[in-house]
Chain A
Amino acid sequence: MSSSEGERGPEGLETSSSATRPAVSSATRSADGPGPQAARPSKLGGILSLLASELRTLFRRRRTWAMLGALALIPILIAVAIRIAGDSPSGRGPAFLDRITQNGLFVGVTAIIVAIPLFLPLTIGVVAGDSIAGEASHGTLRYLLIAPAGRIRLLVVKYLAAAAFCAAATLTVVVVGTLIGWALFPIGPVTLLSGTEVSVGEGLLRFLMIAAYVTVSLLGLSAIGLFLSTLTTVPVGSMAATAIVAVVAQILGALPQLEWLHPWLFTRYWLDFADLLREPPVWDSFADNAVLQAGYIVVFGLLAAARFVTKDVLS
């Protein structure tokens, strides 16, 4: 036990306990446990306080920033490559790529189109797939549950945190893309798909609407990841499975033989946000997408709850 010699404080448990215990007790006695006299704390307040703590934890984590940094690299790479190599022949490469040299604002949209099939699902897979399995693998799940966090409450909070990450991820791509485009290319009024020209401000608003659209697109996948995360105590498994599900869904969506299946795939509307770039914006695909994603949230949310509520926590 020689190694632990240096870790003990100037005062050990023995001496400090008697000194500080009364202070602890008196500080909290008034608001102590759920005795018959104590007012029941509100359910919403409980969720908000746990959510705040969860968001703080998520966004304090180096891994989260590494993923956001990697996503930020996408628009940066695109912008720098075009700046160095010059314009690409029209009609090749991702949509809007050929517009960038005329208007730097298009870097963000181009980057998000590049990020949607793989990069965004990968990072969502990491966050959503890790949500419960990661806690289980660290053993912190049992301590959250005996706190007691409440199983449903914990699931809801974990899902909301994953959704917050979806928003952060898409915003990172769009915002960094806009900034780098601003820095490297001329900026001007945005020509919409309908041919109308709108101001820079209006154009930026449209791009934010696209970010919102993509965020919504990822909510179904987040619910799938949350569910997969309740199945295992090995987070790598549920993370990889979530990413694979996203890729498989896109492959299935590309096979004309499976036409009957396409309306049910959560990836179906992933790239259909062009309607937001019309004047006036057409919201149909946004609504269809939202309904589809909501369906996935309900189904996989219920599956996750059914699984998690009865799950033996043995990790």
Chain B
Amino acid sequence: MGDPGGLGVSAESADSAGLAIETHGLTKRFRSQLAVDGLDLAVPHGAVFGFLGPNGSGKTTTIRMLLGLVAATAGEARVLGAGMPRHVDSVLPRVGALVEGPAFSPYLSGAANLARFDAADRWAPSRTRAARVADALEQVGLAHVAQKKVHAYSLGMKQRLGLANALLMPRELLVLDEPTNGLDPQGTREVRSLIRSLARDGTTVFVSSHLLAEVEQVCSHVGVMSAGRLVAQGTLDEFRDAGEARALVRTPDADAARRVLQGLGMHVDGSISAGRVADDGGVSRPADASADVVVTATLETTPPEAVVAALVADGVRVRGFEVERASLEQRFVELTGEGFDVVQ
């Protein structure tokens, strides 16, 4: 698994004044299981931070610790500059959140539910409550069902109501845990556009997802969780570039090629026999010459031209050379392991 520091985020995290969320060694253990393991998150102010990871990788548990719902086993968390959970009272009024799906009292209407949560916020003026509830409902397209009891809402409607709850007051930070769960494609697009418009106004958005595609288009930063550990974090560009570049050498002299590549300090991780006689347009060749092999090796920092030059200099018959960079999605699978719920 990769090393978070390897993504060049360290320079940024040094400036902790600019961080909306900052954790050091944040850890949560449930009995024997480490749900979150030594997390060092750094979410800059104004960022849209995609918090990615497969189901059960510890995203929700992390968010619960950030919001003071759960006490960390070890480590510390700072949100909007103040330590949590000690400063929940002064920090949380500036934070809107959706945690592990929406939750409402089913016997109350959508508007009544929002008013209830709003009344629990001492900083929310009761004078403007009704107007703010109506605005928030309008904003998520639920104005027409405001007076309907929540038990009659569909999953998607509840998700929208959950978003409305996070938007009742102007917030400095929005923490959205899988906000598009249960939404149709149109709803998913709407959420993305909402996130964009909030980010434009300067709100920091921390959005978790198990789907890369869902957040890729709106994020400025990403952090990737795998089995409780933060395996990568940084700007989306850093993340993209950090994908391992690999050299693919097509040659009949596989052994010689391997030697040369290893000599350059590259890690040879495979060779696949490629090309059969018939594949080359039926041209008959000596048996050894036709047995092309594609040798793959991690490129690391070696410039590709230097690799080719070294191969040629050693008399390796290079019949094809390619540098392959992992797509964002492959990078993701690489970090989180197989069985990942990848984009359909």
Contacts and interface: CB of A to CB of B under 8 A. Distances in A.
Contacts of A32: 123, 169-170
Interface of A, helix, strand, loop or mixed by DSSP: helix
A148 B119 contact: no
Interface stretch (B6-14, B138-146, B275-283, B294-302): B138-146
Interface stretch (A1-9, A175-183, A257-265, A288-296): A1-9
Contacts of B122: 41, 43, 45-46, 49, 150
Contacts of B138: 16, 20
A13 B141 contact: yes
B39 to A, nearest CB: 17
A8 B169 contact: no
Given A20-B135, A53-B116, A144-B117, A11 B141 contact: yes
A32 to B, nearest CB: 6
Interface in A118-148: 138-140, 142-148
A29 interface: yes
B69 interface: yes
B184 A1 contact: yes
A139 B101 contact: yes
B95 A146 contact: yes
Interface of A: 1, 3-5, 7-14, 16-18, 20-21, 23-25, 27-29, 31-35, 38, 41, 43, 45-46, 49-50, 52-53, 57, 60-63, 138-140, 142-150, 154, 310, 312-314
Given A4-B154, A60-B108, A21 B139 contact: yes
A28 to B, nearest CB: 6
Interface in B141-177: 141-145, 153-157, 160, 163, 165, 167, 169-172
Given A14-B190, A53-B120, A145 B170 contact: no
Given A24-B167, A60-B112, A138-B105, 13 more contacts: A8-B141, A11-B141, A12-B190, A13-B141, A21-B197, A32-B169, A41-B122, A50-B119, A60-B107, A139-B101, A142-B100, A145-B67, A147-B92
B116 A23 contact: no
B139 A148 contact: no
B99 A53 contact: no
A140 B128 contact: no
Interface of B: 64, 67-71, 88-90, 92-95, 97, 99-108, 112, 115-126, 128, 131-132, 135-136, 138-145, 153-157, 160, 163, 165, 167, 169-172, 183-187, 189-191, 193-194, 197, 201
Contacts of A310: 71
Nearest to A150: B89
B126 A49 contact: yes
Contacts of B119: 49-50, 52-53
A314 B70 contact: yes
B194 A143 contact: no
A23 B140 CA distance: 14
Contacts of B201: 21, 25
A23 B142 CA distance: 17
A158 to B, nearest CB: 12
A142 B103 contact: yes
Nearest to A43: B122
A14 B132 contact: no
A193 B280 CA distance: 115
A143 B158 CA distance: 14
From B90, B122, B167, name the one whose CB has the most chain A CB atoms within 10 angstroms.
B122
Contact of B123 (A21, A34, A52): A34
A33 B139 contact: no
B107 A62 contact: yes
Given A3-B154, A144-B117, A17 B68 contact: no
A14 B194 contact: yes
A13 B185 CA distance: 13
- The 10 A-B pairs at the shortest CB distance, nearest first, are namely A139-B103, A13-B190, A1-B184, A53-B119, A147-B120, A46-B122, A9-B141, A149-B120, A148-B92, A33-B94
B108 to A, nearest CB: 7
A28 B156 contact: no
A29 B106 CA distance: 31
